[in-house]
Amino acid sequence: MSSHGYEVIGDDKMIIIVDVETREVIGAAYAEEDPRWWRGVLRGRVRRLYVPGHLPDPHLDVARRLQQ
């Protein structure tokens, strides 16, 4: 497996995560009705994440945490 990165495309409501080499979509997430809660999937792993309201870029926090 090569060590390349991912690109996050989206905003504070929805994101997709793309492999920068292959351009394959490997994940996605969206904010629920309460925008502090997000549902996402990355490489088949489904998660529900709470994002504190004080973060300036909640979608980037979600992308980072999905990769952990």
Output the tens digit of pLDDT for each of the chain's 68 residues: 344 799 999 999 999 999 999 999 999 999 999 999 999 999 999 999 999 989 999 999 999 999 99
Residue 31 included in any domain: yes
Residue 35 included in any domain: yes
Q: Which two tokens stand for residue 19?
A: 């492999």
Residue 1 included in any domain: no
Residue 26 included in any domain: yes
- DSSP assignments along 52-67, one per residue: -TT-S-HHHHHHHHHT
Domain containing 59 equals 6-66
CB-based contacts of 49, cutoff 8 Å, min separation 6: 29, 37, 38, 39, 40, 62, 65, 66
Which amino acid would we find at residue 35?
P
3 CA to centre of own chain:
19
Residue 28 included in any domain: yes
Residue 58 CB neighbour total at 10 angstroms: 21
The number of folded domains in the chain is 1
